[in-house]
Chains A and B, each alone.
Chain A
Amino acid sequence: MLALLKLLQSLVKTLHSDGTPTQIGLGIALGAALGLTSIANVHNLLVLLLLAVLNVSFGAGMLAWAVFVPVGFMLDPLFDRVGHWLLVDATSIRSLWTTWDNTPVLALTNFDNTVVLGSLVVWLVLFVPICLASRYAVVRYRATLGERVRQSHFYKVLSASQAYNVYRWFRP
């Protein structure tokens, strides 16, 4: 329940932040990587770094992480199949993986694992669609419901909370 409330809080705050729809869309698209792909991997460190230093919505990234984790679990069999195709079935790119797997540091990326590689590739493919869809959703929300929610009691309570101050550190 608490997690659900936090999620809701994060959603409302993100939608009403000062960030532009593009910044929020990019944040969501980057954060989706954390949820879709296995978290304990080198590429996610890079994603976290990008979320922190790029002028995109960090909150949207965290929100996307939470939202995409169950999606990632659900799509694991698909990721496994995509990864297996890339690593095993696609013999033409086998030399690429052989070089990759035997190159210092690159070998630490775990791209030799079907789920890791498959989920990363699927995320990369979905990056632009997620970004555009999120941007469109934010624009539509702000044009329709945004102001009404902003005037509501619920929003004011949420904005006054302590967590909001911490959140503002990262808002774009």
Chain B
Amino acid sequence: MSTAGSVRSGGATPYGPPATGSGPSPNDTTHRKRPVIFRWRGIIPLCLGLTVVAGFWLLFGERTLRSTMEEAGTKALGAELDVADLKVHLTESAVELSGIAIADPFDARRNLLEVKRLFVELEPAPLLEKKLVVSRLTIGGVRTGTTRTRPARAVAAGGFAPSALREMQRWAKQFDVPLLSFTPIDTIKSIILDPAQLTSVKAALALAQHADSTRAGLERTYANLRLQETLDSSRALLTRLEGTNVRTLGIQGARTAVSDIRRTAAQVDSTRRRVESLAATARVAVDSLQGALRSLDDARRSDYAFARKLIKLPSFDAPDIGAALFGNVTIDKVQQALYWTTLARQYMPPGLLPKESEGPKRLRAAGTTVHFVKPQAYPRFLLRRGDLSVDVTDGPTRGSYVAAVTNVTTEPALVGAPMLFAIRRNATGTGVDSLRISGSLDHVRAQARDVLTMQAAGVELPTFPIPGLPYRANPGRGTSDLRLTLDGDQLAAHWTVATRQLTWVTDSVATKKLNTIETLVARVLTGVPALQMNADINGKLQAPKLAVSSNLDRVVADQLRSVAGQQIAAAEAKVRARVDSLVDEKSAPVKARIAELRADVDKRVADARAKLDADKQKLDAQLKAVSGGLVGLP
């Protein structure tokens, strides 16, 4: 077989030695054929190759797509995603999925969501722009909270979702939830505190360093004034001109003397100005040090709390008890809501600037994929509206629900409207009388604002343990309202629980012999038939504050106060005294050093002012003497 442009077989090779008498040399251009550019026969094997690729797609395409989808989904959600079957309907530009299960990222043995069948019909035109616009979404057989046959694998790999999960776990750990302890006060013999653990000691040490560096800085500035040189120069001139006048100096000498006095007086003025500048700088620096000194008192208050916690000294402040009783359960609730909000912010970022994301996984480096968005274009993903029915088969909220979601998109700025979602209970069941979850994710503007509201009435509330006591509170049926607003990085979460069917169950696992205080508190607590709890987490996402109040903490606080108020107060005084002695040991020298610095600076400045002013007066007097009173200093 030969191809166009090739040399005929049997002919001379283009680079070999020419055969004798076998015709023209291959380098003879007069006989060279015109080069042929195209080799159309090459299309045949190319078509064969494409046929092989098409065959591979038919045999393994859906399987490959399914496993890719599972991998990408798992990475995106931070929880295992399983898809039992996937079918691609090319003619309808649709995908049909069945047996979808998304594991709960907070509980490996539960599925957050199970979908029996999901049919997604896509608009064909946006597909050519690598964009997914869902024109029809049909979801059937949705269940939530189902138990998994095998635990979901942990998603430890990189990607946003696992890191968001870790971030949320870190976020939850930053809360300083007070301990609820009923340790008898007489068992508190001594307080062993490491001074290095105390915030105010650390702050005092840092402040001491700051004071030293401030002193060194002021010393340098003072030295740069060259005060003594100015004074020496002024005094030398005064000595030189002492007893002289215009008659003894002559006109020329008097003119020179006037000029010298004026120059020296200008130097004195300049130094005086620099002294004033130094005085102002020193005042600001020392004020700042004293401000920092005052903040040591705030730090000391947190040290009292730390020391109290260290020896498990019970507090009879109701807010502390409320936080101890319901703090962890509140943080857990808000943490879960925040996780999904954070994911939504990642996948639905505000604005139209190019957005970077990790490139597709392949043997070669993944690189970064940059998404360029222009106004009035399709977003990369858009679900205009989705309606679904959900069956929750497990847990206290089991029953049938209907849900609706609108404007789910990767580019909210293009859609120009927030994503809205709502879930409401469709039929009564055993677990809950009414449940309504709604929310909006407004990422249209630069500052994202997410709101989530959940209202449940007649719901079987989950039981929770009472820290320090072998009892679980069983709230029975009641109401639970959760509202979470995340505006930029400002978090406001409010959760209320109310019930009139509160009962108390002995915790068989935590059964122990109760001491006197525990017995008394337990007796009062177990007599409380209702629960009204309000929990708030407010502030910046990086530094939120937890506040919980409930009728239980008021009851416990009153009981503690009446039973052991005096002993607790005495122990608390002991704790404060110990903290004070440790903190004072470090902070007293700092206070003294700052006071000394202020006094030193004031003295030096006053001294410099006095000397300079005195010299200035002498120079003025000398000038008058030299000039016969005709010239004065400005």
- B-binding residues in A (CB < 8 A): 18-20, 23, 38, 40, 48-49, 51-55, 58, 72-73, 76-77, 79-80, 83-84, 87-88, 94, 97-105, 107-108, 110, 112-116, 118, 142-143, 146-147, 150, 168-172
Contact = CB atoms under 8 A, between A and B. Distances in A.
B356 interface: yes
Given A107-B128, A115-B364, 12 more contacts: A18-B7, A19-B6, A73-B363, A88-B370, A98-B374, A102-B372, A102-B377, A102-B378, A104-B125, A108-B128, A170-B3, A171-B3
B6 A83 contact: no
A112 B370 contact: yes
Given A18-B7, A54-B38, A98 B373 contact: yes
B129 A107 contact: yes
B589 to A, nearest CB: 53
Interface centre among A23, A98, A105 (most CB of B within 10 A): A98
A54 B36 CA distance: 9
Contacts of A103: 129
Given A18-B14, A54-B39, A98-B374, A88 B356 contact: yes
B629 interface: no
Nearest to B9: A18
30 contacts: A18-B13, A18-B14, A20-B14, A48-B49, A49-B46, A52-B43, A53-B39, A53-B40, A53-B42, A54-B38, A55-B37, A73-B365, A76-B364, A76-B367, A83-B367, A88-B354, A99-B374, A102-B129, A102-B372, A102-B373, A102-B378, A103-B129, A104-B125, A112-B369, A147-B17, A169-B45, A170-B3, A170-B45, A171-B6, A172-B3
B16 interface: yes
A79 B368 CA distance: 11
A107 B130 contact: yes
B526 to A, nearest CB: 64
B3 A169 contact: yes
A73 B364 CA distance: 6
A52 B42 CA distance: 5
Query: Chain B, interface size: which category?
Result: 35 or more
B6 A172 contact: yes
Given A52-B39, A169-B45, A116 B16 contact: no
Contact of B367 (A58, A116, A150): A116
A20 to B, nearest CB: 6
A18 to B, nearest CB: 4
Contacts of A73: 363-365
A76 B365 contact: yes
B129 A55 contact: no
Contacts of A84: 368
Given A18-B7, A80-B367, A104 B128 contact: yes
Interface centre among B7, B14, B36, B130 (most CB of A within 10 A): B130
A52 B46 contact: yes
B108 to A, nearest CB: 34
4 A-B pairs with least C-beta separation:
A115-B367, A52-B42, A104-B128, A76-B365
B188 interface: no
B380 to A, nearest CB: 10
Interface in B1-19: 1, 3-7, 13-17
Contact of B4 (A55, A87, A114): A55
B280 interface: no
A112 B365 contact: no
Contacts of B365: 73, 76-77, 79-80, 115
A141 to B, nearest CB: 9
Contacts of A107: 128-131
A87 B7 CA distance: 46
A58 B37 CA distance: 13
B634 to A, nearest CB: 57
